[in-house]
Amino acid sequence: MSRIALATCAALPDLHADDALVRDALAARGAEAEAVVWDDPTVDWASYDLVVIRSTWDYAQRRAEFVEWARLVDRVSRLANPLPVVEWSTDKHYLRDLESAGVRIVPTQWLEPSRVFTSRALHTRFPASGDFVIKPAVSAGSIDTGRYTAIDAGSRGLAISHAKRLLGAGRTVMVQRYVGSVDTAGERAHVFIAGEYSHSVLKGAMLDGPDVGVEGVYREERMSPLVPSDGEVEFAAQAVRAARRYFGTSADGVDLVPEPLLYARVDVVTDDDGEPVLMELELVEPSLFTDLAPGALERFADAVVARAEA
């Protein structure tokens, strides 16, 4: 019987509702699966055959600690997704690597905390028209993320305060134009399980104004089932392949991540030219919305059990 840890955070000790279903599906397959809080110092990670990262959404302000934890687990057990993926994918700078590999991403200005930005310097880096978004490069659950209006002086001022707050905490700031189609067409999430396309869901817009701080570790999302276009699934598959190639070519050509990723979620939006662009490649702790697609829960549970027994 495999012992499987579903890693979660202290705010969700009994997992998010989706992952509670996964735990039950694993139990139904004869595995011993339990929710385990990632930063609980009493846990013996070596006692698990597989540690699956799930709702660990509180690491954004302490990524180093989280990656250190992943290294520990990697030494004594099996981690999914594996350590190199966790190291790379918990910081949205990975978007630059994907862009270099030919994946279209949402155009982004990166403001690094190693530089000192005056209010004036921040001001000049914001768009002159339309709405724009300020968000941290290490983020989960739309926390610390806000939407601002370029021509409104008050809104610009709030954006400057927001960026300063993040930079002051040593965090990289991402500035993006607000992608208008998120309000109309919505954001699409395409889920891959064990390297195979599984299902897609539609996500409603998350941002309606400045960052005012949110209680909890994530903002509630409005999701619905989605039948995607073939072209978009191919775009999503291309992003996953680019990530795989990235690991395959680093460190002297040794493939750091030889197996297909246990899970991948590709978040896609449409730009002003009507083309798909990558918002985020979620390889660490994505909600998989297995309740919104027939067969998805079973596919995921089967893949987890197979990985634990391999």
Ligand X SMILES: Nc1ncnc2c1ncn2[C@@H]1O[C@H](COP(=O)(O)OP(=O)(O)O)[C@@H](O)[C@H]1O
Chain residues in the site for ligand X (CB under 6 A): 106, 133, 135, 139-142, 145, 176, 178-179, 182, 187, 203, 205-207, 267, 279-280
282 classed as catalytic:
yes
Contacted entry of ligand X, Mg ion, none for residue 158, CB cut-off 5 to 8 Å set by kind: none
Q: Which residue is nearest to ligand X (CB)?
A: 206
Distance CA 254, CA 186 (A): 39
Q: How far is the CB of 57 from ligand X (least distance, A)?
A: 9
Q: Compute, in degrees rounded to 10, the torsion defined by CA atoms 166, 169, 174, 180.
A: -30
- The answer to whether 268 touches 181, Cβ cutoff 8 Å, is no
Task: Please identify which of the residues 188, 282, 299, 307 carries the catalytic annotation.
Answer: 282
265 classed as catalytic:
yes
C-alpha 79: how far from chain center = 17
Task: Please identify which of the residues 171, 265, 299, 307 carries the catalytic annotation.
Answer: 265
Distance CA 179, CA 267 (A): 13
The alpha-helical segments, DSSP class H, found in 211-295 are 230-249
Q: Which residue is nearest to Mg ion (CB)?
A: 280
Task: Please identify which of the residues 222, 241, 245, 275 carries the catalytic annotation.
Answer: 222
- The answer to whether 128 touches 117, Cβ cutoff 8 Å, is no
Contacted entry of Mg ion, ligand X, none for residue 161, CB cut-off 5 to 8 Å set by kind: none
Closest to ligand X by CB, 175 or 293: 175
Sequence-distant (6+) residues with CB within 8 A of 83 are: 70, 71, 74
Distance CA 203, CA 165 (A): 28
Q: In the window 255-284, what residues touch Mg ion (CB under 5 A)? A: 280
Closest to ligand X by CB, 134 or 305: 134
Contact between 187 and Mg ion (CB under 5 A)?
no
* Binding site residues, Mg ion, CB under 5 A: 280
Catalytic residues: 222, 265, 282
